[in-house]
């Protein structure tokens, strides 16, 4: 009877374990599907915004081109009259006008075409738009095609989202408001990502930033960089280095 009881309890525990395991797998898959669906929706929204921006810049360029001949005629008349002072003044005003009329935000992210993964491209576009709305000057450079990054795509998006959000927040509170993003693919298929942003206050202890619950701001959970640290531990081919100097915070990511 005791053996029967023990066997019954053991069978019950095994069945309960299998049910819990199945439930965990189901919830995990469902959560992943929701997250991927959210990424796809964000991707479409960002591409629509990007397309709209291109159309606006193209229209502005066409309008300026329409008036370009008349502008050249005015310069020619001033040159014929020998009015050098007036010509210099006119050219100076023309430069200011053309800088204003032909300013194209796409110049700042023209290398986005080298990012082949749609989720990473969509994320970057979304953050660029956020920077523009926050009046943060940014420079993006990616001269080599990035066809594949050797990490799970969801973890890549999580990693870049956290780092870019932190950079935007810190740069927005600084006086310079600058963010530089450099992505490069080496010949050995190693991907390097360097993110540099201005900060209002220099970080005194960078190692402390990656601890759970630590935050330099009030009403913050302090989980952001600790999640980055967890991802670094998850992937042996992922290296992340933080540094701070002269009110600039730099994050260097190397993915073998």
Of 55, 70, 103, which marks where a domain is finished?
103
The confidence band for 228, taking pLDDT boundaries of 50, 70 and 90, is: confident
Determine phi and psi for 151, rounding to 5 degrees: -140, 160
Burial-class residue 143 by CB neighbours within 10 Å (0-12, 13-18, 19+). exposed
The yes-or-no verdict on residue 5 having pLDDT over 80 is: no
The yes-or-no verdict on residue 219 having pLDDT over 60 is: no
The yes-or-no verdict on residue 113 having pLDDT over 80 is: yes
Of 47, 78, 103, which marks where a domain is finished?
103
What six digits make up the tokens of 35? 């997250």
What's the domain range around 34? 1-103
* Across 124-137, average pLDDT: 87
Which run of H or E residues covers position 244? strand 238-245
* Measured CA distances, 98 to 34, 78, 92, 162 (Å): 46, 19, 10, 37
* Higher pLDDT pick, 110 / 214: 110
Instruction: Give yes or no: residues 215 and 163 share one domain.
Output: yes
Instruction: Give yes or no: residues 88 and 184 share one domain.
Output: no
Instruction: Give yes or no: residues 112 and 76 share one domain.
Output: no
- pLDDT at position 125 is 83
Rounded CA gap, 225 and 210, in Å?
Answer: 5
Instruction: Give yes or no: residues 113 and 86 share one domain.
Output: no
Mean pLDDT, the chain, rounded, equals 78
Burial-class residue 226 by CB neighbours within 10 Å (0-12, 13-18, 19+). middle
The yes-or-no verdict on residue 207 having pLDDT over 80 is: no
Instruction: Give yes or no: residues 10 and 94 share one domain.
Output: yes
Instruction: Give yes or no: residues 240 and 156 share one domain.
Output: yes
Instruction: Give yes or no: residues 41 and 146 share one domain.
Output: no
pTM above 0.85, yes or no: no
Q: How many domains is the chain built from? A: 2
- pLDDT at position 97 is 67
Of 103, 121, 137, which marks where a domain is finished?
103
Instruction: Give yes or no: residues 76 and 154 share one domain.
Output: no
The yes-or-no verdict on residue 210 having pLDDT over 70 is: no
Which run of H or E residues covers position 216? none
Instruction: Give yes or no: residues 146 and 202 share one domain.
Output: yes
- Put the strands of the sheet holding 248-255 in their side by side order: 137-141, 178-185, 191-198, 248-255, 238-245
Determine phi and psi for 198, rounding to 5 degrees: -75, 150
Which distant-in-sequence residues (6+ apart) come within 8 Å of 132 by Cβ? 105
Task: Tell me the percentage of the chain whose pLDDT exceeds 70.
Answer: 71
Looking at residue 170, which CATH number applies to its domain? 3.30.565.10
Instruction: Give yes or no: residues 137 and 165 share one domain.
Output: yes
Residue with tokens 């991707």: 43
């Amino acid at each position: 009877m005791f053996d029967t009881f023990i066997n019954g309890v053991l069978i019950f525990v095994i069945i309960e374990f299998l049910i819990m395991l199945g439930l965990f797998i189901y919830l995990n898959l469902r959560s992943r599907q929701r997250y991927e669906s959210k990424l796809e929706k964000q991707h479409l929204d960002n591409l629509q915004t990007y397309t709209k921006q291109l159309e606006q810049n193209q229209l502005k360029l066409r309008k300026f081109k329409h008036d370009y001949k008349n502008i050249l005629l005015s310069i020619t008349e001033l040159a014929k009259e020998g009015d050098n002072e007036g010509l210099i003044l006119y050219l100076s005003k023309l430069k200011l006008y053309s800088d204003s009329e032909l300013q194209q935000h796409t110049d700042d992210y023209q290398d986005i075409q080298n990012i082949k993964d749609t989720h990473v491209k969509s994320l970057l576009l979304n953050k660029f738009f956020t920077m523009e709305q926050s009046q943060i000057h940014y420079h993006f450079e990616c001269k080599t095609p990035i066809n594949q990054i050797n990490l799970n795509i969801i973890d890549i998006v999580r990693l870049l989202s956290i780092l870019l959000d932190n950079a935007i927040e810190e740069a927005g509170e600084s006086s310079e408001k600058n963010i530089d993003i450099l992505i490069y693919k080496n010949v050995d298929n190693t991907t390097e990502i360097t993110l540099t942003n201005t900060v209002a206050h220099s970080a005194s202890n960078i190692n402390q930033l990656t601890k759970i619950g630590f935050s330099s701001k009030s009403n913050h959970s302090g989980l952001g960089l600790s999640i980055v640290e967890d991802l670094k531990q998850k992937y042996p081919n992922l290296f992340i280095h933080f540094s701070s100097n002269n009110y600039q915070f730099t994050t260097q990511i190397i993915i073998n």
